[in-house]
Each structure stands twice: as structure tokens, then as C-alpha cells.
Amino acid sequence: MKLSLALPFLLAATLQVNASAIGQEVTLHKKNVKLDYVLRELQKQSGYNILFDQRIIPESARINVNYKNVHVNQVLNEILPPFDIKYKQTGKNIVLNKEINSSSKSAPINRQQQTTINGTVRDTNGSPIIGATIRLNTNTSDGALTRQDGTFTITARPQDRLTFSYVGKASVTVTVGDRKELSIILEDQTVEMDDLVVVAYGQQKKRNLTGSVASVGSDEIEKTALQDPISILQGRAPGVQITSNSGAPGGEMTIRVRGNSSLNSGNNPLFVVDGVPIESNSLSSLNGTENFGLNPLADINPDDIASIEILKDAASTAIYGSRAANGVVLITTKRGAEGKAQITANFMSGVSSITRHLGVLNASQYRAAVIDSYNNMNNPEEPFWTIVDSLNPSNNGDIDWQRELLRSAGQYKVDLAVRGGSDKVQYSWSNSYLDQDGIIISNNYKRITSRLNVDFHVSNKLKIGQSIAYTNATNNRINAGGTGNLSVIRELLVRPPVMSMYFPDGSLNGYQLGRRNPVGIAMHATHNNKSHRIIGSEYLEYEILDGLSFRSNLHFDFTTMKENEFMPSILDYREGYNTGAVRSTNNITWANENILRYNKVFNNDHNFGGLLGFSLQDWRFERTGLDGMFFPSDDIRTINAASVISNQGVNVEAESAMLSYFGRASYDYQGKYLAEANLRADGSSRFGRDKRFGFFPSASAGWRFTDEPFLEGIKNVMNDGKLRFSVGSTGNHAIGNYTSQGEFLVGINYLDYSGAAPSVMPNASLTWETTVQYNAGIDLSFLVNRITLNADYYVKNTRDLLYEVPIPTTTGFSTITQNIGNIQNKGVEFLLSTKNLVGNFGWSTNFNISANRNRIVSLPENLLTNGYIQNGAYHILQVGQPIGIFYGWKFDGVYSRDTDNVNGVTNGALGPVFKGGDPIWHDLNGDHIINQDDRQIIGKAEPNFFGGISNDFSYKNFSLNVLFQFSYGNDIYSEINHQRNTIVRYNNLSTDALRRWRQQGDITDYPRPVRDDPMQSESRVQSRWVEDGSYIKLKNVNLRYRFSPTLINRIGIRSLDAFVTGTNLITWTKYTGFDPDVNSYAGLRVGVDEGSYPQSRTFIFGFNIGL
């Protein structure tokens, strides 16, 4: 593997060395074109750097050129003299300068007062700027240009003012005074509306977008110390809602772009990394560790990312067709650029800890609660004494299991990258090592990444290149989620404090009275996986004619994973019972795209663009494994040592394929009137023979109204304004590979003979989910982009929902996947960016807020029971309601006395009467009987609105970024709070139990604890566990100091930054769990906290060094 990664880099270096052998002849045939266009084309073809100040090119300068295989110098010698422009060539650099006429010079000055000024001009990275213009006073033509090393010499008087300028940089003006040397730093000039953003199959000027695209650049990524590309988007991108499934290193996130559009689990967006489509469905982990798979993007080093774009509306996503109904996330990694090789190294180290501890009863409080629970059973002879007997050595502890299990976890990371190139070859090679401990003991994640991006200009017409990334990851995982007694989080909250860590003989007290030792689970139960992943692409691009090019891409994504699991006998009540499993998984994706692209400008006003393409893609999944039990020792964990090995094992293979045709056409007139149309046809093997192909069109238009003559007067305030509208359809094919064809389950034994039985009922008429989306937006810029506002309103209608419909078991099946029902999402998004202060002290703000309203529009009547479909334990699906509503009993308080139950409300028709200390349940139908008919909607997971606000401050060499993230109006069903307030199995309770009902007349909202809960007070899905999940979180703070180039350049360092970053620093919330940023389940069962791995507070200190 090391050799395979080194070879492309050696090839890139060899190509660079030989690049200078290629000639610099140019061919150009144009009529009535702008001079600056010709200069850029000459630079492109010749490989020379043609440097000039844009102000020396007359705005009206248009020329005719007709050259074929002519050296660039001949062209310059003929086109520049008419405009009084001269040039000077130094190596590969050609610097243009305006010829100075004696008649235009300023009046003679006193030569005795003049002083020779020497200096350098550099960019913010410390690199010299070649060809920067130095202007002496604004009313003269006297000046100079910087040399190849960025130095300059000019004569001036003390009262003179020097203005330094360069294309793309903000000008700087200084007064000479008594200085003889100057060191000038030119910062990038922000012209947001002309920035390029990555879109499907290319790039586009931000000012010409007609769709809805959110973008996060590398400058924003650098402000975080997060190691997951998805979590970086939290609070930064409007319309994108992200919640944490697990706070473990490498843990999975749930990302929703404009709401849930499906009733199945296929609600994640399509991820595309450097053109490679990444399946958002993670590799499933062994036995559902943490109830989730691995994060599919955890293998990507954020320091390699140049930008992340989120395509949201149909105009932006339709060209991805059947996989784009939930949006598309484009990740573009950094590439090389022409120039001297630049080496960058990053070092960071930090520590993480739990954001909060949850209150639980101590030993004496717990014993009192247990005694109450037995007394409330009216059965004092129950043998509960063992748990409350403080003389029992197994029950005489007073342990805070959170303190024992949770730790301050260290992490460190090292990055090393080299980027550069010549006019023919550009390269970027980056490497990274991450070692990150989780806040639960024994949890660790290690990742090694290496990425090589190379672009090679073989000739003026032919370009080839590659992007290849390798990741080696080791994840020592913890079974943290769920409600089973192998869940570490559940056990650390409910294992009684009186239970000892060890038995008197020194052995681990791993299992006692139904409760496992959480420290024992973390230290001795094994959940390890090791993976190797290669993501890459190769491309060839050929310019057929001027404006017409062909490109072929080959993409691949290969993952191999080895998994091991072992549960030792010391954690089980059965003597000698231990279990183990091994798994081997291969996931292979390849794709080929062939694209014909056309771009042409007519009369400098009419811009036409288009592309046609087709692609093939194939997915393959293979998995093998064995399970065993009764190993001779907990120290011998090889599967062949097990006394009993599964006679079936695991052997799964699956494959699917897609054939696609796609196209796009765009037009704009003077950047004022914009239009675009897209079409994609996808054929998928997942659907029936008659439904294999789906067609997904879109259309969009834009109008830059500020360019209209009748609005010329507002440009002093509003310098840019654009209206956008789009409509189109996209699809969703997130179902099983063989659902339409049916499946058989092998390994079914009958009379000692192995056989197969049908497991999935076929449905040849199965087809795509289709989402039709309408989007209207407006983009406004005020005061030369000091204030920008982007606003969108959208409506998404999804039909033909894919859903597993229950059918009579007499068919031999329990369900069949069918197309049913409709869902609607509609909402608004706002992004406001302001530059509040510009100058020595800078302050800018980015604020985004989004509101989405999800609604189930229709469901088949034959699937409804009492008007809804039960969806797991906590949720239902109901027409007119959003996905993620909680359904159960409404808790109205606690009966203070037996006599308070004046209506004699009973638990069920024949059940006992509720009395003092029991919950008061809302009697929905008024029949004085609490049963299934009294359930109602008790909460919703969807927030009313969410977003973030980021402030950037700068003063001299210091910069500070502060990001707040917020969500309002969403509820959380805290199942973990339910578990730690239930006395069954000797559970410990939360400190809320200190205010429990104890005697007649007590007024409280905490019911009496009752052993085994005969009144079902604790076991019901109820509003008591529904909590307000709204929060405001200080998500990220980054303080950075950039050392002065004049200081560090002396020791050979180009740039040096020191920084400190804090993440998840403060959360303001009413939620009583670890963190309101939680989602224990994927798919539709949203907003539930079943004890997910908690979020951590992290502090990072680091350096960025450029050489």
C-alpha cells in the first residue's frame, strides 16, 4: 500500500521536471474581444504568468487576433503598443506596465528631499507578490512594480503617500515619513458575488446561481478542531439540520436537508467527494453496536477539504436524479497550484470531558428508595434485604459509576502536506495521523490518511489527473446506546451505588441481580473494528474545439473491514458463558462518467453552457463471519476455540447497478437574465422490470434586477440584487437491492437437511419515490457587499413513498414493500452576512436561521388503525402530522390522597383503582378507565426553527471566531430518563426521586416507587419523559495568533499560527439529559434519547506551520 501511494507522487515529480520541455506557442482566433480576455488566454496556452494591474487595461479596449502556432512574445509585441503598454519578461513571469509619457508626469519636485525607499510586498501567508503596483501619490503617474522576490525600490519624500495594489488584493496606502524600509502585507479582497462555488459536474460563479446552494469554505473549516466533515456544518449552513447519534470518536451523525422526505430510512443526502458518490448508508457494525453503523465520512481528513457545498433545491440536485431527493453534499479537496512547493504542517493536542454529570442517588438514598418500593407493594416479606444489607460485602459500596467510567480523554493529531507545481503539473500530497480517546474508558479511535491529487497538462488540449486517498482506521468501540443491560450508558446510570466493583476475593463483580458492571463492560467486552479504505478517481479531459471539451471520469470506493466482538463470562450470570464473533466486510463501488461540455460567449453578452453525459455505477457488498460461545477461557478469544460455533455463520453478498443519462443547458445575458434546465434519466436494478427507469427534470431562472437601467439610482445602497426561481423533480431509491425481485433466506434446516425459504415478497411494480420541489429565492448585497442577504422559500412534495406494508401471514410473508402515500415539507431559510467593522479592528457576522414544516399528506386507509400507523414504541405516523410525533399517555400529576380519585379511575377495565401516590393519567374519552384508548400525541421531534450565528473578530495578528448553534421547539423523548426513574431490577434512580410521594397528603409530581409496577406507572410511554429539547450552544470558539512574516521569514518559515479551540463549551437548555443534541435512532424514530454516547467538551491547542 505504501508503494502504491508513493508511485503517483513520484510520477507527478517526474512530470514536473519534464514540463519545461513543452513549448509556449499559442493559437488564437477572435474578433472584437476584450484585451484582458486575450491576455488570460495567452497565459492559459503559453504557461507564462502574465501579471498586470487591471487598471492599465482600458475598459473599452477590444481587438482582433488571428494567430496560429505563434510564440507568445510575438503576440504581445503586436497587441500592446497601441495601448502604450510595455512588458518585461523574467523567467516564466511577464509583467505588464503602462508606458509613462513625460507630458503626464507631475511637476518637478525638490530632489534634495527625496529618499530611496526599499521594501517587500507579501500576501497574508508570507509569500512574495510579483508585479504588485506601487503608486506615488494618487495624482501622479510615478510608481514601480515589485520584483520576482517581492522587493521594490522607489524614491519619495517624507510627506508622500505610497499606494500598493495587486489584482485580487485589497490596496494599502502608507505615508513615507522617515522610514527607509517598508514591509507591506496585502490581504485578499473579498468579492463574494464573484466567488466560484462547486456545483454538480463543475463550478459556477456565485453571482450567476439560479439554485439554492449553501457553501462552507476551508477558512471556516480551519476555525474548528472537529474531525468529522459533517459536524463542521452544524450551525453554519441554512436548511441543514444535523444531530448526533453518538458522541464517540468516529460516531455517526444524522443530517437532514430541508426535512424528512421518506418513510423509510433513506433520508440522508447523497455525498460526493471529488466526484466520487459515497453511499450514505454506513457499513453496519457488528451486532448493532451503539445501534448504528460507522460514519461514512469519518475517513476524510477535514484539513484536506477545500470546500463543502450543500445543494438543496431541484435546480441544483436534479442532475443527480434518483439519489438527490434529500439533497446533495459536495466535498472538494485541496489541489495543487502553479508555483514553488509549499509545505504545511499542523500539530494539535487536546483533552475532552463530559459536558455534565447526571444526578443519581447515593447509597443511603438508594436504600431508602428500595425500601419504599417494597413497602408500596404491601408485601414486606419480599426478600429484598440483600440489596439493602450494608453488611453484605457485595452491597456495601457507595460508588458513583459516572466518575468511575467517564474520563478526561486526550487526543492529538499531526498533518503534513506539500502542494505546488509548474505550468504543466500541479500536485497536492497530504498525510495525517489522528489518535483520539473517547470519554468512556477503553474507547479509542486511530486514523491514518494519505491523499494525492495530481493534475497534468499534457498539451494545450489534453489534461489528465487523479485523486486518490487511503485511510487506515482502528476503532475500539463501546456499546454505549440502547436500553439493554450491555449498554454502558444505561448501566452507569442505573447500576445501584451499593453494588461493589469487586468481590471480596478481588475478582470483578461483573453481574449482580440483573445489573452488569459498566466498568467491566467497557474494559473487558470487545467491540473492535479495523478498516482500510481507498477512495479515488482518474480523469481525462480533452478540448475538442474552442469551448467544446470531453471528460471521462473513473471513480472507485473500496472498503475492507475486520470486526471482532467478545463478551466474557465475568459479565454474565451463567457459569462459563461467553460469546464471540468475527466479521469480514468488503464494500466496493465503481463508476464511470463520460461528459461532453460546451461553453461559449457570443458578443461578450450571450453566455451559453451545456453538458451531456452518461454514467455507469456498480455497488457490491460482501460479508462473512462466524459466531461462537463457551470459550475455554475469557483470555482465549479465537473463534476456533469456542465449544459451540454457529452452524450457519454469516455469508452475505449483494450487488446493484445503475445506468444514467444526464444533461444541462444554461444561458445568461450580460449576467442579468439567467436560465438553466437539467434532465437525468436513471435506470436502477433495484426496481421492477417495468419500472427500471425514472426521469428527473428541472428548470430555473434568475433576474439581476439591479442591472436594469431604471434601478440605476439604488446602486449606491444596493449594489446587487437577484431573484431566483426553480422547479424540478428528484428521486429516492433507498431500498434493498432485491426487494422488487424477492429474496430467499438460506440456512433454513428441516429434518436435518439444509434448505432455503422465501423471506422477501417480490413486487415487480415497485418504483421510485419522487420529490417535486419549488424554490423561490432572493439575493441582496448592500454597501459594496458590506451586507448580504440570501433568503429562500421552498415547497417539497414527495409521492410514491416506499414503505413495508403489513400483509396477512397466510401469504408466507409479514410485509411487502409498496409505493404508498405523500409527504410535504415547506419552509424558509435566511442567511445574513455583515462586515460590521473594517480596518485595524475587524468584525464580521454570519447569521442563519431555518424553519421547516413537515406533514404527512396521505396514507392508505387500509394501513391505518384508529387513524394512524404505529411506528416503533414511541412514534406514530398520522395524516396531517409531521414525522417524529410521540404518542402515549399524558401525565397530569400525582394523586395526593386516595380520596382525590373521586371518579374511581381504574387501570384498565378490570384493574385496580388509582390511589395516593399513583400518577394521574389524562382520561381522554372520559370513561374513567385508563387504557390504550387514552393515548394521544404528547410531543414532536421537529423544531420550530434552528440555525447558528458566527462572529469573526480580528485585531492586528489576532483573530477570534465564536459560533453559537441553536434549536427551538423540538421535543426529546428521554427514554434514558425513564430508565433511571424505574425501580425494576433494582435500578438506581435520579435525584428527582428525593421528592417522591411518601405518604397521604404529599403534593409532588414524582409518583411513589413500586416494585414491579403493578399499576404500569413506569412502563407506559408517557408525557412525563417528553422534555423540551430547545437549546442555545456555544459550539465553537477559536482564538488564533499569526506571527509576523518579517519575524519568522528570517528562520526560513513562511507562516506560523498558534491557536486554541474550544468545542461544546456551554449549553443553555431545559433538557435534563447529557446533551440535547442527541438522536439515538436513525430513520423515522427521531428525537429519542436511549442513552447515546454523550457529547464531550473539548479544548485543543495547536500550531500551523508553512515552509
Query: pLDDT for 241-257, tens place per residue?
Result: 998 888 888 888 888 99
pLDDT value of position 225: 81
Whether residue 869 lies inside any domain: the answer is no
Say whether pLDDT at 164 is over 90. no
Per-residue pLDDT tens digits for 957-1012: 899 999 999 999 999 999 999 988 988 767 899 999 999 999 999 999 999 998 77
Say whether pLDDT at 314 is over 80. yes
Whether residue 914 lies inside any domain: the answer is yes
Q: How far apart are CA 1097 and CA 347, in angstroms?
A: 20
* Residue 863's pLDDT band (cuts 50, 70, 90): confident
Same domain (yes/no): 115, 87: no
Q: How far apart are CA 852 and CA 260, in angstroms?
A: 10
Same domain (yes/no): 121, 139: yes
Answer whether 444's CB lies under 8 Å from 436's CB.
yes
Q: In angstroms, what CA-CA distances link 1063 with 227, 297, 654, 1093?
A: 12, 20, 40, 17
For 68-77, letters b (16+ CB in 10 Å) and e give: eeeebeebbe
pLDDT value of position 188: 62
Strand pairing of 769-782 and 1055-1069?
Answer: unpaired
User: Which among 1023, 1016, 1019, 978 has a CA at the least distance from the CA of 887?
Assistant: 1023
Same domain (yes/no): 74, 137: no
Average pLDDT over residues 488-492: 89
For 964-985, letters b (16+ CB in 10 Å) and e give: bbbbbebbbbbbbbbbbbbbbe
Q: How far apart are CA 675 and CA 703, in angstroms?
A: 9
Per-residue pLDDT tens digits for 259-278: 998 887 578 899 999 988 88
Average pLDDT over residues 489-507: 89
Average pLDDT over residues 745-751: 67
Same domain (yes/no): 92, 135: no
Domain boundary (128, 161, 186) is at: 186
* Residue 836's pLDDT band (cuts 50, 70, 90): very high
Same domain (yes/no): 86, 123: no
Say whether pLDDT at 394 is over 80. no
Mean pLDDT is highest, among 248-257, 361-370, 813-822, for 361-370
Same domain (yes/no): 30, 93: yes
Say whether pLDDT at 19 is over 60. no
Whether residue 15 lies inside any domain: the answer is yes
Higher-pLDDT residue of 252 and 599 is 599
pLDDT value of position 535: 94
pLDDT value of position 1021: 93
Phi, psi of 490 (to 5 degrees): -60, -45
Whether residue 713 lies inside any domain: the answer is no
* Residue 868's pLDDT band (cuts 50, 70, 90): confident
Average pLDDT over residues 52-77: 76
pLDDT value of position 752: 65
Domain boundary (66, 98, 130) is at: 98
Say whether pLDDT at 59 is over 70. no
**Residue showing cell 502553479:** 338
Average pLDDT over residues 1063-1071: 96
Same domain (yes/no): 128, 147: yes
Instruction: Give the torsion sign (CA, 601, 607, 613, 619).
Output: positive
Q: How far apart are CA 975 and CA 1025, in angstroms?
A: 7
- Concatenate the DSSP letters of all residues of 529-593 into one string: EEEEEEEEEEEEEEEEETTEEEEEEEEEEEEEEEEEEEE-GGGSSSTT--EEEEEEEEEEEEEEE
Say whether pLDDT at 688 is over 80. no
Say whether pLDDT at 141 is over 60. no
Half-sphere exposure of residue 587: CA atoms within 13 angstroms, side-chain side: 18
Cβ-proximal residues to 832 (8 Å cutoff; 6+ apart), any chain: 787, 788, 789, 845, 846, 847, 848
User: Which among 1085, 1059, 1101 has a CA at the least distance from the CA of 875?
Assistant: 1085
Question: Beta-carbon neighbour count of residue 462 at 10 Å?
Answer: 12
Average pLDDT over residues 708-731: 90
Element (H, E) at 493: helix 488-494
Its domain, for residue 145, covers 102-186
What SS3 state is found at 283? coil
Average pLDDT over residues 1071-1089: 85
CATH of the domain at 112: 2.60.40.1120
Question: Is the whole model's pTM more than 0.85, yes or no?
Answer: no
pLDDT value of position 195: 61
Question: Beta-carbon neighbour count of residue 1037 at 10 Å?
Answer: 18
Q: How far apart are CA 130 and CA 197, in angstroms?
A: 27
Higher-pLDDT residue of 652 and 433 is 433
pLDDT value of position 156: 84
Say whether pLDDT at 1034 is over 90. yes
Whether residue 6 lies inside any domain: the answer is yes
Dmax (CA) for the chain in angstroms is 115
Whether residue 153 lies inside any domain: the answer is yes
* Residue 798's pLDDT band (cuts 50, 70, 90): very high
Same domain (yes/no): 92, 21: yes
pLDDT value of position 414: 96
Same domain (yes/no): 106, 77: no
Domain boundary (98, 130, 148) is at: 98
Same domain (yes/no): 157, 179: yes
Higher-pLDDT residue of 894 and 152 is 894
Average pLDDT over residues 626-653: 84
Higher-pLDDT residue of 149 and 663 is 663
CATH of the domain at 71: 3.55.50.30
Higher-pLDDT residue of 812 and 751 is 812
- Concatenate the DSSP letters of all residues of 683-708 into one string: EETTS-GGG-EEEEEEEEEEE-GGGS
Say whether pLDDT at 193 is over 50. no
Same domain (yes/no): 82, 151: no
Mean pLDDT is highest, among 155-159, 380-384, 958-962, for 958-962
pLDDT value of position 102: 35
Whether residue 674 lies inside any domain: the answer is no
For the chain, what is the domain count? 3
Whether residue 179 lies inside any domain: the answer is yes
Same domain (yes/no): 80, 112: no
How big is the CA angle at 940 (ends 936 and 942), to the nearest 5 degrees?
Answer: 160
Element (H, E) at 398: none
